[in-house]
Structure 1
Amino acid sequence: MATTRFSPFELLLLKSRNQTDTAALLLLTWVAASKGSLSETDRQRLADMSASMRHGHDCQAILDIGARQDLDAVQLAAEVLQKDRWGTQASPFLRQAIEIAVTEGKLAAATNHILRFLADLLGTSPPQFAQLYLEVIGKPFESPEDPSREAYWQAREHARQQQRSQSEQRQREQQSHHRQRHSQEGTGGSRQGSGRPHGDKTLRALAILGLDAGATRSEIKKAYRRLAQTHHPDRFFALGERDVASASMRFQKIQKAYEYLMQDARSL
């Protein structure tokens, strides 16, 4: 006798106390993951949203499926949600989707398209959705960039060249500042006992902490605390071993840069 095999999301739906809420949480996770990855901020926001839902099970399994952007699960969730959240019933869900779409402060092109898809799925017209977006975010809902247009790539290339020019300018300024600093040290300047020959290493350590040459001890401490908190491996535990390993390497670089700079940082 053949055994029917269900996908992980189908099993969640079968066990759910409210399939519509289960489908809604899956689609909200899909929105968050479309930005590139499921950040810790997004996970916490989704967990908060899940707490007010009636599905009756741990939300972690849904978040894991949504983070993988399983399109079969997304399609099934869309079908379930459409039955119960059509028309005037769509607004609360779409508000949540908008909130989770812009947690990083801007709307990615892929996420823009997904929001449009969800609005259309639930019978919300473009003008209605644009008004809803304006109410939630306080900014107009703009059209996504079109990669098929030449102007799109020209703008990207211009931005890339501008960023490269600014980076080169900053590097020249740092090198100039560094040469002046060592020149002062060589003639008995105010920085005693510094005499460190490895200027490139100092610049690399500053760059890791996102600081400019001449940063004070207080600035170095503040930058270290901020980056250490953001990149601590414990924050990436739920994302898997690869993310934890990557975060550990980044955290070690931050820590080494901090220790190196504190040996030679000038006082306030």
Structure 2
Amino acid sequence: MVATGFSAFESLLVKSPHQRESAELLLLCWVFANKHVPLDEDRRYLERLAARAHHRRDLETLLAAARRQDLGDVQLAAEVLTKEQSGPIIAFLRQAVVVATSDGALSLRNHHILRFLADLCDVSPDTLRALYREVTGRTLAAPEDLSHRSHWQPAEPEAEDTAEAEAGDTGSTQAHAGEPRASWRDRVRRLAENQWREHKQQQQWRRQQAQQAREREQQREAAAQAERERRAQAHAKRQAEAEAQQREQARQQAQAETLRREQAQRQREQAQRQREQAAQRQRQEQQQRQYQERQRRERQRQEQESQHQEQQRQWQREQSRQRQRAGFDAPSYPIRRALIELELDTSASPREIKLAYRRLAQRHHPDRFHGQSEWRITLASQRFQRIKNAYDLLMQHA
């Protein structure tokens, strides 16, 4: 009957989120299953790799698939590894060499399996030999010839069984033949003991080689871990220095910004003081000009007043002389003062008084000086009041 389901490895591969790691682990289990003497240390090494690849619980499934020597699973794993790779996979090939040589001697099958994996990982034979020497300290020899008699000759211990059978068949022979048969059995026993001791020594040597290989692998892993930690520390140090430099730059920028704001504030305050000082100087200059203008006008008024008084005195003297010549009495001082204010003489008629008042009142009315200085409006008001008082006085005595 044709099977329609998946194999155990195919089911695991379909469900696995890390198909490349699953394929690599199956190929390593294939190497493990084809060793002369699989060691417990190899099993623990595979368990560590399985835990790293998230397949700790699937290791038994992979080992069972590898022991079945199902080339379909091997081909599927090889296809997955070829599809996922982007270059030579030295790390995986190193792991395969470690597993294959942990017991010292490399089995004939693993001879060919390692070369197959090297070709699968796109690694040249020279690189494979260099990697093998680096891991084991020995040269990768050519695989043995499968046609050699050692691969098909029966094992030596069968000779003892054959000798015993022959001894049973010849039990009726003469007694003097017993000693040679005993010597032959002793030689066979000694040969077996020697072979057993050699096997134990070779097994011990293989364990030592495997231990040394694992120690070298652990040393490489420790060195790689130390290098990663050193790089991480260097990266953290560089990052801390960069952060410190950024903080220092930020502090300097903040300090520069503070200095810039303070300088701008000082410049604004200085500009404000300069504007206030300029405005104060302008006010002082304007007040000085106004004061000088008032002084000038006051002096001008006093001069005009002085001239007017002098003219009035001259006119009064002239009028006095005329009256003396005409025999008339001079008018009183208030009347003379009023006539001078209206710019008239003693001979002015009431009509002339009215005309003079109208003319001077229009000329010196305060409304004509609206918008000028307060001092100028005050002078105009005082002059207008004197004109009006003079007009009222003259009209009373007209």
TM-score (norm 1): 0.54
Greater relative contact order (Cα < 8 A, sep 6+): 1
Q: Which runs of 5+ in 2 are unaligned?
A: 161-183, 201-398
Identity of aligned residues (%): 42
For 1:56 and 1:45, how far apart are their aligned partners in 2? 12
More helix by share: 2
Aligned residue in 1 for 2:248: none
Q: Determine helix, strand or coil for the equivalent of 1:87.
A: coil
Give the root-mean-square deviation of aligned CA atoms: 3.7
For 2:143 and 2:38, how far apart are their aligned partners in 1? 21
Asked whether 1:134 is paired with 2:130, we answer: no
Report the Cα offset of residue 134 of structure 1.
0.9
Q: Which amino acid aligns with 1:116?
A: R
* Number of residue pairs aligned between Structure 1 and Structure 2: 169
**In 2 relative to 1, CA 37–81 (structure 1 residues): closer, same or farther, beyond 3 Å?**
farther
Aligned residue in 1 for 2:26: 26
For 2:151 and 2:25, how far apart are their aligned partners in 1? 36
* Equivalent runs, 1:41-52 vs 2, <5 Å: 41-52=41-52
For 2:13 and 2:151, how far apart are their aligned partners in 1? 45
Asked whether 1:153 is paired with 2:172, we answer: no
* Equivalent runs, 1:1-268 vs 2, <5 Å: 5-35=5-35, 38-55=38-55, 57-85=57-85, 87-88=87-88, 90-148=89-147, 152-153=148-149, 168=187, 171=190
Deviations, residues 63-111 of structure 1 (Å, cap 9, x unaligned): 22112222111110111111223533x1000000000001211101111
Asked whether the 8 Å contact 2:37–2:103 carries over to 1, the reply is no
**In 2 relative to 1, CA 69–41 (structure 1 residues): closer, same or farther, beyond 3 Å?**
farther
Aligned residue in 1 for 2:352: none
**In 2 relative to 1, CA 17–106 (structure 1 residues): closer, same or farther, beyond 3 Å?**
same
Deviations, residues 170-189 of structure 1 (Å, cap 9, x unaligned): 639xxxxxxxxxxxxxxxxx
Q: Which amino acid aligns with 2:83?
A: K
**In 2 relative to 1, CA 20–91 (structure 1 residues): closer, same or farther, beyond 3 Å?**
same
For 1:105 and 1:82, how far apart are their aligned partners in 2? 29
For 1:78 and 1:119, how far apart are their aligned partners in 2? 11
Aligned residue in 1 for 2:396: none
For 1:23 and 1:127, how far apart are their aligned partners in 2? 25
Asked whether the 8 Å contact 2:39–2:103 carries over to 1, the reply is no
Deviations, residues 143-174 of structure 1 (Å, cap 9, x unaligned): 101123xxx438997x969xx99x827639xx
**In 2 relative to 1, CA 72–39 (structure 1 residues): closer, same or farther, beyond 3 Å?**
farther
For 1:23 and 1:65, how far apart are their aligned partners in 2? 12
Asked whether the 8 Å contact 2:47–2:56 carries over to 1, the reply is no
Q: Determine helix, strand or coil for the equivalent of 1:118.
A: helix
Report the Cα offset of residue 122 of structure 1.
1.5
**In 2 relative to 1, CA 56–18 (structure 1 residues): closer, same or farther, beyond 3 Å?**
farther
Asked whether the 8 Å contact 1:18–1:55 carries over to 2, the reply is no
Q: Determine helix, strand or coil for the equivalent of 1:139.
A: coil
For 2:119 and 2:93, how far apart are their aligned partners in 1? 11
